[in-house]
Amino acid sequence: MFERGKPRRVLATLILLVLTVPLISVYALFEYSEVKSATIYAPAVSSSGQGVLSKITLAVAYPGSGRVFFSALPYTEVETQGAARLAAYIASLVAKVEFSKYDYYVLVESTVPLIGGPSAGGLMTVGFTALLLNFTLNDAVTMTGMINPDGTIGPVGGLKEKLEAAANKGIRTFLIPAGQRVYSYPVYEEYRRGVFIIRRTRYVSVDLVEYGKGLGVDVVEVYSVGEALYYFTGLNTTTSIAVPQSTLDGVLSTAREFHAGLLNKITLLSGEATSLAGRLGGYYGYSYMQAISRLNQTIRELTGAVDRHPVYVTYQLLSAYRSALEYYWALRLLTGASTVENMLDEVNNTINKAVGEFYSENYTLESSLVQAYLHAAWLYYSNAMNTTELSSRLEYVSEALKLVELARLHYELSTWNCTPLSSSLDKLTEVYSHTLGVYTYTSRLLRELNAETSVLDQAAGYVEVLNYAYESKSPLVYGMGSLVLGYSSLAIHSALGTASIVPGKWAGLAGLYASREASPLVVYYLQLVVEAVTLGDSNTGILALTTAIALIQVRSTASTTTLCKSQEHEYGFSTNITTSTVKESAGENTRTSTVQQDKGVKLENIELALVLALAAIGAVTLAHVLTRTKTTPVTSR
């Protein structure tokens, strides 16, 4: 342990003499009262196609301010740095500690020129979580996989090569992203035919679990950081969220009442549209009559299930409402019953009325989300104003009015909330910074994979509103941040093909972050996941799940008090991993421990202090260089 006085001053002086880059206060690094560090070995693939293990040193320092310092030797991709920050943030949420109370360090060392992509993100998240919870990592376990904004582990490449590298280093358990057990890898062949040399590539599939057995390695698929953490530490992340019975009853009652009101509006629109289609006549009139008939059939089927699945039916009815609006306005314009200007004026008036009707002085996530949906409605209204294409205008105004009704639903849910959020600028900044970081990370990742989606385009529009909200120091940051976070996760799952897999694992995933209490808004979306999964609708399931987790994350970051308690209804959340499985796979190094938060080992040696200082300075200079040079990854694995 350092003693105050001369040793610290000598060290600081030495560093300042050797490293003259005045980009960060080195001495400030030694104001930490506690620093914990861990070394992990991340599987990667070299430029020659060989698997290697890269050394990563992680450190968590207290007290800090939420800074993430990254350094790599020789250097690495920007995506890896983005993954490091996301890993630190997710770890703080899983560990139930305040992100801004710590500083986080990542030092990557490799024998290969470059380390590709964000595939170490999951491993870094596990490492940071273990440090924050004061658990020891089992060095016979390693993993590969991206960390997604919702805490799921995303697919990566080079799995066969990484497994071989892990086996060569004596790793006993190798964790891979769920769904990648059967892995296809390229085999490059070259042969001569006469005077010609023929080169071709064929793909071979391998069962990694069976292949691992031959190498003496247990290969295990994991869905989330919670499952991965279990294999590394033996920590059981099984938890449950206790929902006050009054809240659950209130959510279900609100859903049914909202359904009744929205159904009346759709019935009126459908009736008007049918009359207008009859007046229009001809081919177009007939086509609209058929479309309205199909819509009415869908509505009847939904209404028949409202008693069994009230939340799901209510949510789906919003889409039916959007379709009814589009038919109604299209027919009014086609028959001359209205003009485009009249349509836009009515949408404008509807949004303005809702702004006044749904106004709330309460600083809650619910009220913030209500305002976020109204601002999203304004965004679509603005799009309708700025296009001359009629079909696009109809889509925009219909979506805007649908969002007004979605805001109404959340406003009605807000009457059950008693959990205020922090009004401090620090918390607004934390949520804003994390949200922008996640959106940027997602954008770069999908662009590199050439897998951009319309979902991310929608998030881009919300980011504009988020920037406005932060500049205004408005609590709208919380609601709009939730939307951007949710859509970023949704975009990743949609692009990577995991949208149909994740909803079935909703319980363990949501349980990673939640306290034993849940807000009505979170209960609504979790109930929507349950009902969607029951009905086999994975699209709605993944949308609801990513939204619920985003809300939980924002609430965990910014909440100031706990919920009111009453009679409780429990949602069981479990990772579905047994203790015996962990002990068998991870060996005897795992242990049971009482979770300790805000605890750590003292800064005991000069080498670690020097490493932290070098990392901090290296992180700044590295970022400076990367903005001016284009790096080429070993592989995007």
Could you state, in order of their start, the residue ranges of all structural domains in the chain? Answer: 6-234+581-626, 246-414, 418-573
In this prediction, residue 45 carries a pLDDT of: 85
Q: In this structure, are residues 223 and 153 in contact, taking their beta carbons and an 8 Å threshold? A: yes
Fold classified for 6-234+581-626: Ribosomal Protein S5; domain 2 (3.30.230)
Q: How confident is the model at residue 629 (pLDDT cuts 50, 70, 90)?
A: very low
**Secondary structure class of 238 (helix, strand, coil):** coil
Place of tokens 């909440």: 559
Residue 235 near residue 594, CB atoms below 8 Å: no
The confidence score (pLDDT) of residue 244 equals 75
Q: What's the pLDDT at 238? A: 59
Q: 68: which strand partners?
A: 104
Residue-wise pLDDT tens digits, 283-318: 999 999 999 999 999 999 999 999 999 999 999 999
Phi, psi (degrees; rounded to nearest 5) at 55:
-80, 130
CA distances from 438 to 149, 442, 459, 484, 633 (A): 7, 6, 11, 9, 21
Q: Assign 560 a pLDDT band (cuts: 50, 70, 90).
A: low
- At residue 537's C-alpha, the angle toward residues 274 and 238, to 5°, is 145
- Rounded-to-integer distance, Cα 366 and Cα 32, Å: 37
| pLDDT value at 529 more than 80 | yes
pLDDT at 10 over 50: no
The pLDDT value recorded for residue 519 is 79
pLDDT at 599: 36
Share of the chain above pLDDT 70, in %: 79
Q: Which of 355, 364, 446, 344 is nearest to 404 (CA)?
A: 355
Closest to 329 (Cα-Cα) out of 376, 255, 393: 393
How far CA 465 is from CA of 161, 279, 461, in Å, comes to 44, 41, 7
pLDDT of residue 587: 41
Rounded (5°) CA angle 334-337-338: 90
**CA 516, CA 364: separation in Å to the nearest integer?**
19
Determine the 3-state secondary structure of 65 from DSSP.
Answer: coil
Give the residue-averaged pLDDT of 43-59: 87
Residue 113 has a pLDDT of 58
Q: Determine the pLDDT at residue 16.
A: 36
Alpha carbon distance 208, 386 (integer Å): 53
Neighbours of 451 (CB within 10 A): 15
Cα–Cα distance measured from residue 145 to residue 568, given in angstroms and rounded to the nearest whole number: 37
Mean pLDDT value across the chain? 81
Supply the pLDDT for residue 247.
81
The verdict on whether omega for the bond into residue 63 sits within 30 degrees of 0, i.e. cis, is yes
What pLDDT score was predicted for residue 417?
Answer: 59
Q: What does the pLDDT look like over 18-29, one tens digit per residue?
A: 333 333 444 345
Are residues 622 and 68 in contact, defined by beta-carbon separation less than 8 angstroms?
A: no
Distances 280 to 128, 272, 335 between C-alpha atoms, Å:
65, 12, 6
Question: Structure tokens of 342?
Answer: 């009249």
pLDDT greater than 90 at residue 610: no
Would you state the structure tokens that stand for residue 1, as one six-digit string?
């342990």
Judge whether residue 222 has pLDDT over 60: yes
Map residue 511 onto helix, strand or coil.
coil
Per-residue pLDDT reduced to its tens digit, 360-385: 777 788 889 999 999 999 999 999 99
**pLDDT attached to residue 9:** 41
Percentage of residues of the chain with pLDDT beyond 90? 58
State both tokens at 203.
């793909």
- pLDDT of res. 178: 93
Partners of 573 in the β-ladder: 239
User: Mean pLDDT throughout 59-82?
Assistant: 83
Using the predicted structure, report yes or no on whether residue 90 has a pLDDT greater than 70: yes
The mean-pLDDT minimum among 249-253, 487-491, 535-539, 579-583 falls in 579-583
* pLDDT at 525 (0 to 100): 93
**Which stretch of DSSP H or E encloses residue 190?**
strand 182-193
Structure tokens, 601: 């080992």
pLDDT score of 498: 86
pLDDT, one tens digit per residue, over 388-425 is 999 999 999 999 999 999 999 999 988 765 567 888 89
322-331 burial string, b = 16+ CB within 10 Å, else e? bbbbbbbbbb
For 108-145, what is each residue's pLDDT tens digit?
Answer: 888 765 555 688 999 999 999 999 999 999 999 999 99
pLDDT for 563 beyond 70:
no
Judged against a pLDDT cut of 50, whether residue 620 lies above it is answered with no
**In angstroms, rounded to a whole number, what is the distance separating the alpha carbons of residues 70 and 81?**
6
